[in-house]
Amino acid sequence: MADKNLRFLVVDDFSTMRRIVRNLLKELGFTNVDEAEDGQVALHKLKTQHFDFIVSDWNMPNMTGIELLRAVRADAQIKHLPFLMITAEAKRENIIEAATAGASGYIVKPFTAATLEQKLAKIFQTMAK
């Protein structure tokens, strides 16, 4: 399994949700987690600090998750970062939109630590190739 010291950025406008994701990550042994409350804040953090993994909500004010994803993929410095999209949005076009924009994974709320672990494992696997 992946290095437990990986630095995660959890992006969600709803602080309860950030805590939930943070708790789930902690259950999996990832404790190096920072938070951002929307895409803009996240992008600023990504540009100024080092992160290894982005977990982002889709629906946020100011800058949505998908906009953040596109911005990340367009930035040479951080374009390589794995990006897991978390959302309650489960419509086909959304999933396709996220996939084409370069999401590394897509996870539908609500989910458990086990689900998250599977998704993460999948992403690490792909990265290792």
Partner 1 sequence: MSEFGGMDELLQDFLMESSELLSDVDNKLMELEKRPDDLALLNDIFRGFHTIKGGAGFLNVNAMVNLCHRTENLFDKLRNGELQISAGLMDVILDATGSVREMFGALSQGRQPTDADPALIAALDAALAGQAIAPAAASAPAAPAPGTGPDWNALYQAVTPQAPAPAQPAAIAPATSAPALAAPVAPAAAAPVAEPPKTAKPVAKSGGGGSSGQQENTIRIDTVRLDMVLNLSGEIGLTKNRLTTLRTEILQGNTDQNTLRSLDEAIGQLDLLVGDLQNAVMKTRMQPVGRLFQKYPRLARDLARQLGKEVELVISGEETELDKTMIEDLNDPLVHLVRNAVDHGIELPADRVAAGKKPQALVQLTAEQVGDHILIEITDDGRGMNADALRRKAIEKGLIDAETANSLDEKQCLQLIFLPGFSTKDQISSVSGRGVGMDVVRTNIQKLNGRIDINSIPGEGTRISISLPLTLAILPVLVVRACNQPFAVPLAMVREIIPIESGAIQEVSGRPTIVVRDEILPVRMLAGLLGWEPTQKPAFGVLMQSAERSFILAIDSFVGRDDVVIKPLQNIRPKGVAGATLSGDGSVVLVLDMEDLLSAEGASPVGNRLSELIAL
Give residues 23-52 in contact with partner 1 (rule: CB under 8 A): 23-24, 26-27
Cross-strand bridge partners of residue 85: 56, 106
114 binds partner 1 (CB under 8 A): yes
Sign of CA dihedral 27, 9, 124, 86: positive
Q: Which stretch binds partner 1 (CB under 8 A): 10-18, 34-42, 44-52, 75-83?
A: 10-18
- Of 14, 40, 43, 52, the one binding partner 1 by CB under 8 A: 14
Distance separating alpha carbons of residues 14 and 20, to the nearest angstrom: 10
Kindly state the smallest distance separating residue 91's Cβ from partner 1, in Å: 6
Is residue 74 within the footprint of partner 1 (CB under 8 A)? no
105 binds partner 1 (CB under 8 A): yes
Q: Tokens standing for 68?
A: 């953040």
Tokens encoding 40: 């803009």
Helix (H, G, I), strand (E, B) or coil at 31: coil
The pairing of beta strand 83-87 with beta strand 53-57: parallel
Question: Which chain residues interact with partner 1 by CB under 8 A?
Answer: 13-17, 19-20, 23-24, 26-27, 57, 59-61, 87-92, 95-96, 99, 105-106, 108-112, 114-115, 118, 122
